């Protein structure tokens, strides 16, 4: 395998005297390892069979964003070498996987629905944003008016279930912290 150490960027001495050195990964274009544009593609032996796999790792991340099968070369023994086109396709695919993962996480941590205002003056947007703190997770229950202005916000348990009924009850109780949360 290739040396994967980081190299320091050369900066003018007047900058380096006041600022810490910036670390950027070295650009590598080899048959089984490409590092460029914030990504590393590495062809690895597939542990499940005699084939090959490729893993895509975003710079700074400990785990691959994407691992998938890789094509055999012409000799049916060694992997097909990486090239610019394949690398760009892998970057696009891995970026999409990360984007979908972020959307899914956002959907799990953020809920929103609309209820009638207690005064009958229109609708309110009620949001629940879970803060996944390792020691003490919690959620913020927020009421927004039709202009997006925050009317109220209370801290509730991370397990609070935001439903039309729970939101309506909170509004009708003048935004007092829901019991049991």
Q: Write the pLDDT tens digit of every residue in 98-111.
A: 999 999 988 889 99
State percent of the chain over pLDDT 70. Answer: 85
Decide if 54 contacts 44 (C-beta within 8 A). Answer: yes
pLDDT-wise least confident of 18-27, 117-126, 145-154:
18-27
**β partners of residue 144:** 125, 150
Q: Write the pLDDT tens digit of every residue in 74-100.
A: 888 889 999 999 999 999 999 999 999
Sheet bearing 123-131, strands edge to edge: 110-116, 123-131, 138-144, 150-157
Please enumerate in sequence order all residues whose Cβ is within 8 A of that of 5, keeping only pairs 6 or more positions apart, or say none.
26
Q: What is the pLDDT of residue 181?
A: 65
Query: Per-residue pLDDT averaged across 113-118, rounded?
Result: 90
| Arithmetic mean of pLDDT over the chain | 85
Q: What is the pLDDT of residue 12?
A: 41
Q: DSSP string of 21-40?
A: PPEEEPPEE-SSEEEETTEE
Domain locations along the chain: 6-108, 117-172
| Burial 73-108, CB ≥16 within 10 A → b, else e | eeeeeebbebeeebbeebbeebbeeeeeeeeeeeee
**Is the confidence at residue 56, as pLDDT, over 60?**
yes
Q: How far are the Cα atoms of 7, 12, 42, 80 from residue 19, in angstroms, in the given order?
A: 16, 11, 33, 43
Decide if 30 contacts 87 (C-beta within 8 A). Answer: no
DSSP letter at 141 equals E
Strand segments (E) across 59-173: 66-70, 110-116, 123-131, 138-144, 150-157
Q: Which two tokens stand for residue 153?
A: 């916000």
Q: Write the pLDDT tens digit of every residue in 7-40.
A: 333 334 443 444 444 455 689 999 999 999 999 9
Q: What is the pLDDT of residue 122?
A: 87
Q: What is the pLDDT of residue 24?
A: 59
State percent of the chain over pLDDT 90. Answer: 67
Q: What is the pLDDT of residue 23?
A: 58
Q: Write the pLDDT tens digit of every residue in 134-146.
A: 899 999 999 999 8
**β partners of residue 29:** 34
pTM of the predicted model as reported, rounded to 2 decimal places: 0.61
């Amino acid at each position: 395998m290739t040396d994967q150490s980081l190299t320091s960027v050369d900066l003018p001495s007047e900058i380096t005297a006041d600022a810490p050195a910036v670390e950027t990964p070295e650009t590598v274009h080899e048959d089984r390892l490409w590092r460029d544009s914030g990504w590393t593609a590495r062809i690895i032996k597939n542990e499940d069979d005699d084939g090959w796999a490729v893993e895509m790792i975003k710079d700074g991340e400990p785990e691959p964003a994407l691992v998938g099968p890789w094509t055999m070369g012409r000799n049916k023994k060694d992997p097909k070498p990486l090239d610019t086109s394949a690398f760009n396709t892998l970057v696009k695919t891995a970026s999409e996987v990360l984007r979908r993962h972020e959307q899914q996480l956002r959907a799990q941590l953020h809920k929103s629905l609309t209820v009638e205002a207690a005064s009958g003056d229109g609708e309110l947007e009620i949001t629940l944003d879970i803060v996944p703190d390792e020691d003490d997770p919690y959620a913020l229950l927020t009421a927004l008016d039709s202009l997006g202005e925050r009317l109220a916000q209370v801290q509730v348990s991370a397990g609070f279930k935001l439903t039309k009924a729970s939101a309506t009850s909170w509004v009708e109780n003048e935004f007092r912290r829901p019991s049991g949360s």
